[in-house]
Chains A and B, each alone.
Chain A
Amino acid sequence: MKRNFDCRDFERVFERWPLEGDEEATRALAAHVESCAPCRTRLQEYREISRLAAALKQSIEAPGLWPRIEAGLVRERAQPRRFPRRVPLLAGAIAAAALLLLLPTVLPTLLRPRAGVSRSTILADAEIETLVREERRIAARIGEIEPLFETRIAQEDHAAAIVSGGLAYLDGNIETCRRLCERNPANRSIRRALLQSAEKKLEILEAFVSR
């Protein structure tokens, strides 16, 4: 059954004017204003406002605007982009190939669970000590092998030159992790990344010098 509206109810209807397809509210309002002079006046004034506003929608001429926009667009297109739209094909192919080569060797190391290490993100003092000891051991071993590797480079061993690119990448990682470890010595993920990079470097060096 339809509710009887009074003026207070219509306050809410007026707030939603022009009602945008709410036919029930439109009908109810029309019925109400038949018998309510203040609401009738208000509705008439609203309609008058809408009529006057619609009359402001007049045709407007702006003949010079499109040529200005067009000139602006042409100018913008002529300017070099801050970032190239496409990565050069060759560089993309090289990056993809390098990634494919690295993934099978790096992934197992990254995903390998470590015995005796808890899952908390913060390392306990004892764990830090163990990891630092391990880092030192690997660093010492790298220190022993690296001169041999550099000798090969000096002898212009072609394979050594290729591997040195990958080692430089790992060195960058190790350096960054060390800096972060100085600030966050108990951060598990940084320590883990440092150890993994160092282990990887050692693995590559050992494999190379034992050829």
Chain B
Amino acid sequence: MMSTDEELLQALREGRLWAFQAVYRKHGESMVRFATQLLGNQADAEDAVQEAFLTLHRKIAGFRGRSSLATWLYRVLVNRALKIRKRRRPMESLDETTPLAGAGPPGALASAEAGAAMAKAIDALPERQRVVFTLSEIEGFTTMEIGEILGLRSGTVRFHLCKAREGLRGKLRPYFGNPDARIDARRSAVQ
């Protein structure tokens, strides 16, 4: 049975399991994917999502609906994920001279190689840029929604997004466009 947002919120406040399951069905997968992107592994990501849902259960009474439930939930998730990340050792960052294996089609990276390079490059971004970029480009949140999630102004979100994009551009430039340039970049990296 479909329920309105208001009914869903009421059911969440009453602690009804079906309501939590409905929220999980709607956002669970993207939350796990987003947290995996932030944390680098799915096990930690699942822990973060579980903690976010338990926080939802504890704090839903204080949710006033000024933002959407999704942005509120992502805000909790970001805080949890960053706490988990801080507890762990810093992850290996992308070394600019690391040669990437395999050959790709001219004009663009081969998709598998590109995905790996992109994931590593995102992981190497400063924390705020990484979170903003992931929310925007992978999860599809608007600048305003990201501002609500992170408690930032839209202008600040755009600033971090631009910085992130420029950072990624710098790291991935040898692999864009001209295939000869890419081969030269790899050769120089290997030497």
Residues of chain B contacted by A49 (CB below 8 angstroms): 118, 137, 165, 168-169, 172
Q: CB-defined interface of B34-53 with A at 8 Å, one 1/0 digit per residue?
A: 00110000100010011001
CA distance A159 to B176 in the complex (A): 92
A54 within 8 A of B: yes
B77 at interface (Cβ–Cβ under 8 A)?
no
Which residues of the other chain, B, contact A77 by a CB distance below 8 angstroms?
Answer: 15, 57
Chain B residues, CB < 8 A from A182: none
Residue ID in chain B nearest A77 by CB atoms:
B15
Chain B contact-residue range equals 35 or more
Which of A16, A44, A50, A58 is within 8 Å of B176, CB to CB? A44
**A72 and B53 form a contact (CB under 8 A):** yes
Stretch at the interface among B1-9, B17-25, B89-97: B17-25
CB atoms of A54 and B15 under 8 A apart: no
Q: Given A52-B118, A53-B133, A66-B21, verify A60-B169 contact (CB < 8 Å).
A: no
Interface size on A, residues (CB 8 A): 34
List A contacts of B36 (CB < 8 A): 60
State in angstroms the CA–CA spacing of A119 and B176 once bound together. Answer: 77
Query: Residue A46 at the B interface, CB < 8 A?
Result: yes
A46 and B165 form a contact (CB under 8 A): yes
A156 within 8 A of B: no
The interface residues of chain A lying within 8 Å CB-to-CB of B176 are 44-45, 48
Known interface pairs A46-B169, A76-B57; A54-B17 also in contact (CB < 8 Å): no
Q: Does A59 contact B (CB under 8 A)?
A: yes
A17 CA / B169 CA spacing, docked (Å): 14
B50 partner residues in chain A, CB cutoff 8 A: 65, 68-69, 72
Chain A at the B interface: SS class: helix
Interface pair A62/B29, CB less than 8 Å apart: yes
Asked if B17 and A73 sit within 8 Å, CB to CB, the answer is yes
Residues of B within 8 A of A57 (CB): 33, 138-140
Chain A residues with CB under 8 A of B122? 53, 56
Closest to A85 in B: B61
| Contact flags B71-112 to A (C-beta < 8 A → 1, else 0) | 000000000000000000000000000000000000011010
* Shortest Cβ distance from residue A60 to the other chain B in the assembled complex, whole angstroms: 5
Expressed in whole angstroms, the Cα–Cα distance for A66 and B53 within the complex equals: 10
Please determine whether B42 and A72 come into contact, CB atoms closer than 8 angstroms. no
B21 touches A65 (CB 8 A): no
Give the 5 A-B CB pairs with smallest separation, nearest first.
A53-B137, A52-B118, A15-B162, A69-B53, A60-B33
Interface residues of A (CB under 8 A from B): 14-17, 20, 41-42, 44-46, 48-50, 52-60, 62, 64-66, 68-70, 72-74, 76-77
> Besides A46-B165, A49-B165, A57-B140, 8 other CB < 8 A contacts?
A15-B162, A16-B158, A17-B161, A48-B172, A62-B28, A62-B42, A62-B49, A69-B50
